[in-house]
Amino acid sequence: MNLTERSKLRRLPARGSHELEAIYKILDAAFLGHIGFCVDGQPFVIPTLFGREDDTLFIHGSAASRMLRQLEHGVPACITVTHVDGLVLARSAFHHSMNYRSVVAFGTARKIEDSERKMHALEVVSDHLIRGRWDDVREPNEKEMKQTAVLEFTIEEASAKVRTGGPVDDEEDYALPVWAGVLPLSLKAQPAQADPRLIAETKLPEYIERYRSE
């Protein structure tokens, strides 16, 4: 992976890393990212689901999507992913912070034309979202595939950044009678809600139960 000025860690570099293992771990723990790009000088940032395979992120959407139609030509883009792990509450307003894990990845995206690779990419996205689901559902038919655009975003360079731990106050503020600490936050799956039109006696898949316990 190449490193240039655009991925250089400037603010609090001790919290950052360019190690692929750290970057992939954060990406694999997420399924929603935000992709930024410019069209005629106008910046856009669009939320999108993704799936990762090695140094490639697959994204998909409607073939009529402005974002995908712009990105498919190989314009420079940036994908960011952030996990918010907690609110860090200090004794002073200035030192409040947040515990987080984030990745900023730069690269270019190109449209996948080969039908087999396109189907494979959709399977990667599905398994990234909830592993095991692809094997249960009906695969996209020819009409649906024509209505769907799939891009592969090659990560050319990236950085990860992580903050953990409690607040760091000015020494004199530790004497203040103000509660300080961390309010942990997490994304947690709730009990599954069955579709009212579900065929009778259709069992809840094990992978959904497993998803709730992870």
Contact 57, 49 (CB under 8 A): no
The domains of the chain, with CATH numbers, are 5-187 (2.30.110.10)
CA distance 6 to 157: 9
pLDDT attached to residue 88: 98
Per residue of the chain (214 residues), give pLDDT as tens.
Answer: 666 655 555 555 666 677 899 999 999 999 999 999 988 888 999 999 999 999 999 999 988 887 888 888 778 899 999 999 999 999 999 999 999 999 999 999 999 999 999 999 999 999 999 999 999 999 999 999 999 999 999 999 999 999 999 999 999 999 999 999 999 999 989 999 999 999 999 999 999 988 877 7
Contact 158, 23 (CB under 8 A): yes
CA distance 140 to 137: 9
CA distance 61 to 44: 16
Distances (CA, A) of 148 to 65, 126, 139, 213: 9, 14, 13, 32
pLDDT attached to residue 95: 97
Contact 42, 4 (CB under 8 A): no
Residues 6+ apart with CB under 8 A from 20: 1, 55
Residue 170's CB is within 10 A of a number of other CB atoms, namely: 12
